């Protein structure tokens, strides 16, 4: 793997190559399929274990396969003839999910071991893996006034139990498939992504979607009160989905980043209370905040150090939180009232 990678031009890509997006029935995978289709790619295969009727987005002209990728034979089928593979399938969710269901999170290692081996056997040219900021050493995240996490802060390792450790070992698979077998792998460590067409209810949603939904609910039932997990002082950064898919594309086509984990997130740090205030402004209300100190909260503070991505790509996710949240709030409101009218929403 490159020791001191330097920025290089993105590789040019033929629009007729076979692209495979795993986890395409979910939030980021659904957007990624649409993104590639809009860019003119003609052969996109979307794969997810959910029944097709439960996929968050279906892009016309994209081949859609319903396969459980924790089984090797399904992985082999999924990647047949693939030139580029984007591996986003995982059993995951927000803090409420990853703190309660560590075994499910760890079992994603089955998907990742079978997918990368199948990709290698299929002769895939580029393999992208969606890692997470949860790989970072939790000892460095005990203070809400965080020092932003840089890529080298994953080691010595003390990742988030369950979910984070699985991501870290799967990153290592990517690094070794390059080192030992010469397959080009790319690893992005996503920091919280949010946006329309994401999980907004049901237990797997993340803070931005959950807080939008709670405020919409509080307006609707006229209580004007919401419950916040924790005391509101925990800090995070949140990346808008358009930046996320653009970043995935750029990272996967930058050869200087082969087998080199890189942060993909914004460095606009906010407390949970500030996040609520932004959503209040969008909604045009003030809500009463009740704090649930027994709820899952995750590490105290986490931010993305973007020095490396700026150096490598001359770019970083930039959508201001208030702009991305305005889009997200409007979309969740639509979903909320669809459900209220007895219609199906993406999380039903
Ligand atoms: P998501 O839950 O919306 O999508 C993941 C998809 O994977 C789901 O549709 C699920 O059905 C599918 N899946 C799970 N197990 C599968 C299996 N065995 N076979 C086939 N499909 C399976 O999640 P997302 O937010 O789109 O995240 C995509 C990737 O990015 C995941 O790997 C996640 O860990 C990573 N990530 C996301 C965030 C974020 O903020 N959303 C942050 C860090 C990392």
Same domain, residue pair 222 and 332: yes
Same domain, residue pair 150 and 226: no
| Other Cβ atoms closer than 10 A to 84 | 23
Asked if the structure places residue 45 within a domain, the reply is yes
User: Nearest residue CA, atom 3 of ligand 1?
Assistant: 26
Residues pairing with 194 in the sheet: 240
Same domain, residue pair 32 and 97: yes
Residue 8, pLDDT > 60, answer no
First to last CA, the chain: 44
| Other Cβ atoms closer than 10 A to 104 | 17
Residue % of the chain over a pLDDT of 90: 86
Asked if the structure places residue 8 within a domain, the reply is no
Q: Regarding beta strands 235-237 and 239-240, do their DSSP bridges make them parallel or antiparallel, or are they unpaired?
A: unpaired
4 confidence band (pLDDT: 50, 70, 90): very low
- In the structure encoding, which two tokens stand for residue 229, read together? 């997990």
- In the structure encoding, which two tokens stand for residue 84, read together? 């580029």
Least confident of 12-26, 170-184, 312-326, 327-341: 12-26
Residue 13, pLDDT > 90, answer no
Asked if the structure places residue 102 within a domain, the reply is yes
Ligand 1: centre distance to CA 88 (Å): 5
If one counts the domains in the chain, the total is 2
Give the pLDDT mean for 121-126.
98
Q: Are 334 and 213 in contact (CB under 8 A)?
A: no
CATH of the domain at 152: 3.40.50.720
Same domain, residue pair 57 and 84: yes
Ligand 1: centre distance to CA 28 (Å): 7
Q: Are 102 and 108 in contact (CB under 8 A)?
A: no
Least confident of 100-114, 294-308, 323-337: 294-308
User: Nearest residue CA, atom 1 of ligand 1?
Assistant: 26
CATH of the domain at 218: 3.90.25.10
Mind telling me the catalytic residues? Answer: 163
Residue % of the chain over a pLDDT of 70: 97
Which residue from 89, 135, 174 has its CB within 8 A of the most atoms of ligand 1, so it is best to mutate?
89
Same domain, residue pair 211 and 179: no
Ligand 1: centre distance to CA 194 (Å): 13
pLDDT score at 2: 45
Nearest atom within ligand 1 for CA of residue 30 = 26
Kindly give the residue spans of alpha helices, DSSP state H, lying in 61-162.
72-78, 95-98, 102-106, 108-121
pLDDT score at 7: 53
Asked if the structure places residue 347 within a domain, the reply is no
Same domain, residue pair 187 and 123: yes
SS3 track for 298-335 = CCCECCECCHHHHHHHCCCCCCCHHHHHHHHHHHHHHH
Q: Which residues line ligand 1 (CB under 6 A)?
A: 23, 25-29, 48-50, 68-70, 88-92, 111, 130, 132, 190, 192-193, 199, 206
pLDDT score at 348: 82
Residue 146, pLDDT > 60, answer yes
Same domain, residue pair 148 and 185: yes
Asked if the structure places residue 54 within a domain, the reply is yes
How much is the mean pLDDT over the chain? 94
Q: Regarding beta strands 18-22 and 43-48, do their DSSP bridges make them parallel or antiparallel, or are they unpaired?
A: parallel
DSSP secondary structure letter of residue 143:
S
Residue 12, pLDDT > 70, answer no
pLDDT score at 142: 84
pLDDT score at 299: 80
Residue 5, pLDDT > 70, answer no
DSSP secondary structure letter of residue 25:
T
Q: What is the pLDDT of residues 55-97, one digit of tens each?
A: 999 999 999 999 999 999 999 999 999 999 999 999 988 777 8
Asked if the structure places residue 313 within a domain, the reply is no
Same domain, residue pair 125 and 150: yes
Ligand 1: centre distance to CA 289 (Å): 30
Same domain, residue pair 102 and 223: no
Residue that has been written with the tokens 């870290």 in this structure: 168
Q: Are 138 and 160 in contact (CB under 8 A)?
A: yes
Which residue from 26, 128, 302 has its CB within 8 A of the most atoms of ligand 1, so it is best to mutate?
26
Same domain, residue pair 251 and 273: no
Same domain, residue pair 76 and 214: no
Q: What is the pLDDT of residues 219-258, one digit of tens each?
A: 999 999 999 999 999 999 999 999 999 999 999 999 999 9
Q: What is the pLDDT of residues 175-221, one digit of tens each?
A: 999 999 999 999 999 999 999 999 999 988 999 999 999 999 999 99
Q: What is the pLDDT of residues 38-54, one digit of tens each?
A: 999 999 999 999 999 99
Same domain, residue pair 176 and 284: no
Residues pairing with 17 in the sheet: none
Domain range for 296 is 207-236+269-303+320-338
Asked if the structure places residue 67 within a domain, the reply is yes
Asked if the structure places residue 249 within a domain, the reply is yes
pLDDT score at 147: 81
């Amino acid at each position: 793997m490159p020791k001191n990678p330097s920025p290089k031009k993105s590789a040019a890509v033929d629009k007729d190559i076979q692209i495979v997006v795993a986890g395409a029935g979910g939030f980021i995978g659904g957007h990624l399929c649409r993104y590639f289709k809009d860019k003119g790619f003609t052969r996109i295969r979307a794969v997810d274990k959910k029944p097709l009727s439960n996929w968050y987005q279906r892009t016309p002209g994209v081949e859609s396969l319903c396969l459980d990728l924790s089984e090797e034979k399904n992985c082999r089928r999924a990647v047949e003839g693939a030139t580029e593979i984007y591996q986003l399938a995982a059993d995951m969710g927000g803090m409420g999910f990853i703190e309660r269901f560590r075994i499910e999170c760890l079992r994603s290692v089955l998907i990742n071991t079978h997918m990368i081996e199948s990709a290698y056997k299929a002769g895939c040219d580029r393999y992208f893996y969606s890692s997470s900021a949860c790989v970072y050493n939790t000892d460095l995240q005990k203070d809400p006034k965080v020092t932003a996490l840089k890529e080298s802060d994953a080691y010595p390792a003390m990742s988030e139990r369950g979910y984070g450790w699985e991501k870290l070992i799967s990153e290592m698979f990517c690094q070794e498939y390059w080192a030992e077998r010469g397959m080009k792998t790319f690893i992005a460590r996503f920091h919280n992504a949010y946006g329309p067409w994401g999980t907004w209810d049901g237990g797997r949603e993340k803070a931005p979607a959950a807080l939008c939904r709670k405020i919409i609910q509080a307006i609707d039932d006229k209580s004007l009160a919401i419950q916040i997990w924790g005391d509101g002082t925990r800090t995070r950064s949140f990346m808008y989905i358009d930046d996320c898919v653009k970043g995935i594309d750029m990272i996967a086509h930058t050869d200087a980043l082969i087998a080199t984990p890189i942060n993909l997130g914004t460095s606009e740090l906010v407390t949970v209370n500030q996040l609520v205030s932004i959503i209040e402004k969008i909604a045009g209300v003030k809500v009463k905040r009740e704090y649930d100190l027994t709820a899952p909260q995750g590490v105290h503070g986490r931010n993305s150090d973007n020095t490396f991505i700026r150096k490598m790509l001359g770019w970083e996710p930039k959508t201001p939180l208030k702009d991305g949240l305005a889009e997200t709030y409007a979309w969740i409101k639509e979903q909320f009232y669809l459900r209220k009218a007895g219609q199906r929403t993406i999380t039903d």
